[in-house]
Chain A
């Protein structure tokens, strides 16, 4: 079980990230989490949104260099040691976490070098993976 993440190429210049967000806004897309990293010249901004395919099409249309990638999304319980346990599972399974960021509530995105292997390792634990549908439903669930 994995989710779709939107990665966008942005120049490190004032207003460029804002253009992407305006794109989401105009398409009525909701951001569940994001991470931005840059090299000084350009950056890669990663988003988890409620409708990834729509977001991809919308940003492409606006001329952005954008890509859909598969990442894992793990649901954590809000207690000490939970994050460490995820990374421990990955380490034991010899899976490399390329990058990692948190979403709304206690969810984290894990970009790994071997999704299948990581899924298998997590399946043996009490840690819970969620999918795109659950991402889309996130705020609803919280409201309840």
Chain B
């Protein structure tokens, strides 16, 4: 990470709560056994109750009885967002609507939203997953938790709300909007935990500073973030200015909502997956075949005990890598890297898969470069060529061509070791790359077929 992360070396992990240690800290063998038993059951349940999956599996000549090992999950069909759209609203439901106790929907930016329904059992799993991630951040029964997400169809608000109740924390359901009121409530009620999007937390922080509110002296200790990606730099800044510890979690409405995985305090750029509820695969986004452990690929999720809307092998299009190494926090559930890019961003250059986030990481670790970059791919001379434009930092420019050439060479070597492909590195003047938020703007693919 290029941005300094707050040091957690002083944390005594044995003193932090773990919501369900008999699962979260169990052996890998036991987790795999739990997953297999649930997978076999879940595939049978899904085949029996959801016509869409039954048709798919019949077409592929796969029967539930073919699932004998965890690897057999690969025999099953993938599910894409489109399947949920095509069956709008209730086509994928496995239970009569009488058994659905709550509905949520993702905001569809195009066309119909994705509608999801939860049975009582589903709500139970969901709130437990949230309880786990809240405890990873240090939230306990005595906490006063202020909600700054909007409630409503969005899964974030109620999802987090139920999880906090599960721990025994006190919910303060303020909802979104009215920043000054939020700050007043923190002061009046002695709020200890804030649930917000990271950008709204930053806004609360700034408004508080302008009003003269002393964040260092406030009761607030923890931020639970969600609803949008949280750049490490933003998190570090909020932690420093509000004097709190902030974590974020991962989830998708299609497989449950928030709570699929959560950040512990030992590895701030990773999240523990709730493996007893989600079977994960990391696949090559092009071929759908599994990648080796530790390699970057697309996350595919199969919820293992979802009753309302079972989903098999959901293609998240999110890129991550997973490690099975035990964590210093005491948990043995695998850790996934926080999602920083989508499979749609991937470039294939001379047969090598390249992600903008890889370039971003290398550049973030070179203090003499700004975090801005641009990737240009062309094949003007036949072969694919990747040019990476970077901005030098004003302070490191040297008067010597020899030094500058050496510097260019070093940057090229660092990129090559990660990308496994030698790029052409071009040094640009500071500030010459347009500042944008979207990843897409970083890549300019000029190849002609």
Contacts and interface: CB of A to CB of B under 8 A. Distances in A.
B429 A10 contact: yes
Interface string A42-76: 10101000000000000010011111010000000
Contact of B429 (A11, A39, A67, A98): A11
Contacts of B398: 67
Interface in A83-136: 98, 111
A138 interface: no
Interface of A: 5, 7, 9-11, 16, 37, 39, 41-42, 44, 46, 60, 63-67, 69, 98, 111
B392 A44 contact: no
Contacts of B399: 5, 7, 44, 46, 67, 69, 111
Contact of A41 (B394, B397, B427, B432): B427
B394 A39 contact: no
Given A9-B392, A39-B405, A60-B394, A65 B400 contact: no
Nearest to A71: B399
Given A65-B392, A65-B394, A11 B401 contact: no
Best-surrounded residue of B393, B394, B396, B399 (most CB of chain A within 10 A): B399
Given A9-B397, A64-B394, A69-B399, A42 B430 contact: no
B426 interface: yes
B431 A63 contact: yes
A11 B394 contact: no
Contacts of A39: 401, 404-405
Main secondary structure of the interface of A (DSSP, over half): strand
B234 interface: no
Contact of A65 (B393, B401, B405, B426): B393
22 contacts: A9-B427, A10-B429, A11-B429, A11-B432, A37-B401, A39-B401, A41-B426, A41-B427, A42-B426, A44-B399, A46-B399, A63-B429, A63-B430, A64-B394, A64-B429, A64-B430, A65-B429, A66-B394, A67-B397, A67-B398, A67-B399, A111-B399
Which 9 A-B pairs give the minimum distances between C-beta atoms? A65-B397, A7-B399, A65-B394, A69-B399, A63-B431, A9-B397, A42-B427, A41-B426, A63-B430
B418 interface: no
Interface in B393-428: 393-394, 396-401, 404-405, 426-428
Given A9-B429, A41-B426, A63 B404 contact: no
Contacts, number: 50
B381 to A, nearest CB: 16
Contacts of A44: 399, 401, 404
A41 to B, nearest CB: 5
A69 B399 CA distance: 7
Given A11-B429, A42-B427, A98-B400, A63 B405 contact: no
Contacts of B426: 41-42
Given A9-B404, A65-B393, A65-B396, 15 more contacts: A5-B399, A9-B397, A10-B429, A11-B429, A16-B429, A39-B404, A42-B404, A42-B428, A44-B404, A63-B429, A64-B394, A64-B429, A64-B430, A65-B429, A67-B399
A83 to B, nearest CB: 22
B404 A65 contact: no
Nearest to A41: B426
A66 B397 contact: yes
Contacts of A7: 397, 399
A26 B397 CA distance: 23
Best-surrounded residue of B394, B397, B429 (most CB of chain A within 10 A): B429
Interface in B345-400: 392-394, 396-400
B281 to A, nearest CB: 43
Contacts of B394: 60, 63-66
A67 B394 CA distance: 8
Contacts of A98: 400
Contacts of B400: 98
Nearest to A16: B429
A128 B53 CA distance: 91
A18 to B, nearest CB: 13
A67 B396 CA distance: 9
B392 to A, nearest CB: 5
Given A7-B397, A7-B399, A65 B432 contact: no
Contacts of A37: 401
Best-surrounded residue of B392, B397, B427 (most CB of chain A within 10 A): B397
Nearest to B431: A63
A10 B401 CA distance: 12
Nearest to A98: B400
Best-surrounded residue of B396, B400, B426 (most CB of chain A within 10 A): B400
A30 to B, nearest CB: 21
B205 to A, nearest CB: 28
Nearest to A111: B399
A58 to B, nearest CB: 13
